[in-house]
Amino acid sequence: MNISVIGTGYVGLVTGACFAKLGHKVICVDVIKEKIDLINRKVSPIYEEGLEEVIYKHVGKSLSATLDLKKAILSTDMTFICVGTPSREDGSIDLNYIKKSAEQIGKILKEKSGYHLIVVKSTVVPSTTEKVKEIIEKFSGKKDLGICMNPEFLREGKAVHDFLNPDRIVIGEYDKKSGDILYELYKDFSCPILRVDLKTAEMIKYASNAFLATKISFINEIGNICKKLDIDVYKVAEGIGLDSRISPKFLNAGCGFGGSCFPKDVKALAAKAKEINYNPILLESVLKVNKDQPLRMIELLKNKIGNLENKKIGVLGLAFKPNSDDIREAPAITIIKKLIKEKSIVYAYDPKAMKNMKKIFPDISYENKAQNVIDNSEAILIVTEWQEFKNLDYKEKIVIDGRKVLEKKDINYEGICW
């Protein structure tokens, strides 16, 4: 099929590259020229395991990138909308990029003859795709349009693998004709394909992320209680995870979830609930536990070394999770902010995310090796579970471990929940 993809972020670029890998002809569109130039030079603008290889192999053949949305839409039969849907100040979803894309698509489709399918892949609150349809109809003057909502469940860091090996594919369809075309695109995937209406597809995405976030805040709260009772929460998690109704996944207690999705999506769902006069008590609590969790590391640090002013503190790990350069809503941001407030001298290291973190904190010291952070600091906070942090020489220094990276049990070692 001939596919255009709007937005070359984690979702759009992975979607485009993977469809090209699967034999389709794909044009990726973005408004950022640097991204487009990089892709056309066969370089990935983001770090994602395996993505650069796919881009390298298919750019110049079945995959290309452009700033020209019109050219992309006019030369394809199907357009995926993968633009960002950030949080507003009050936590509700900002749909401006989606609306803008819908308007642009509508204007372009006015000049295109024949049927075109638009697929919203961005995460959007229930009823949004219906509005996208109305906007496109308004600007195109057309009624015979295909509309689907196809939520994406990929994990950053494993995005290519997850896109190609999903647990399930959800097709939210405005009508059968739209759904049939999208089904055709996915029919060779071996996982279950669930066909539902637009609103249900939108809600499945939010409910999935809210559930996973709840699992994390749940085990973190259990961990905080376990710590006070001198119980190993990881043993507790093993014990409850063996219950097949619970499963062991997402039960790693630590310094909290981050990333572009869980915080944003839980906040957006809570805001949507309030908008329709429902008080989302559980979702609010999930967010509250998560907000406080990174700061528990600072509390533990203070218990060990007292006042933090002028103390040299190392932060190992900046990305919200390993194998990613993404720092959006990362616990490291909350931690560094607090350390700066307490007037500590901060040394930081991350194998992939330092470039991004420098944009937020340009004035802390970034080291080119994890070992340098340890050598320079009197206490070390482990915030992301990068594999390489397991085998460093911690030199008997104070370590507050937010991710159970180390198995240490000595007096200088403290786990956040164990």
Ligand X SMILES: NC(=O)c1ccc[n+]([C@@H]2O[C@H](COP(=O)([O-])OP(=O)(O)OC[C@H]3O[C@@H](n4cnc5c(N)ncnc54)[C@H](O)[C@@H]3O)[C@@H](O)[C@H]2O)c1
| Site residues, ligand X (CB under 6 A) | 6-12, 29-32, 35, 82-85, 97, 100-101, 122-123, 152, 154, 156, 260-261
Closest residue by Cα to residue 316 from 274, 361, 346:
346
Q: In 178-261, which ranges are E strands? A: 193-196
Closer to ligand X at the Cβ: 104 or 344? Answer: 104
Q: Which residues pair with 29 in a beta bridge?
A: 6, 66
| Cβ 384 to ligand X shortest distance, Å | 16
Closer to ligand X at the Cβ: 231 or 360? Answer: 360
Closer to ligand X at the Cβ: 48 or 221? Answer: 48
Q: Are 174 and 146 in contact (CB under 8 A)?
A: yes
Q: Are 120 and 128 in contact (CB under 8 A)?
A: yes
Angle in degrees, CA 263, 323, 388, rounded to 5: 120
Closer to ligand X at the Cβ: 79 or 217? Answer: 79
Q: Are 24 and 1 in contact (CB under 8 A)?
A: yes
Active-site annotation holds for 82: no
Report CA 29 to chain centroid distance, whole Å. 20
Cα pseudo-dihedral 66, 67, 71, 75, rounded to 10: 40
CA 346/CA 366 separation, integer angstroms: 9
| Cβ 97 to ligand X shortest distance, Å | 4
Q: Of 148, 255, 261, 417, which one is the catalytic site residue?
A: 261
- Position closest to ligand X via CB: 9
Closer to ligand X at the Cβ: 152 or 414? Answer: 152
| Cβ 311 to ligand X shortest distance, Å | 35
Q: Which residues pair with 117 in a beta bridge?
A: 78, 146
| Cβ 287 to ligand X shortest distance, Å | 16
Closer to ligand X at the Cβ: 95 or 379? Answer: 95
| Cβ 369 to ligand X shortest distance, Å | 28
CA 40/CA 4 separation, integer angstroms: 15
Q: Are 356 and 336 in contact (CB under 8 A)?
A: no
| Cβ 12 to ligand X shortest distance, Å | 6
Tell me the three state secondary structure of residue 338: helix
H/E element holding 379? strand 379-382
As annotated, the active-site residues are 261
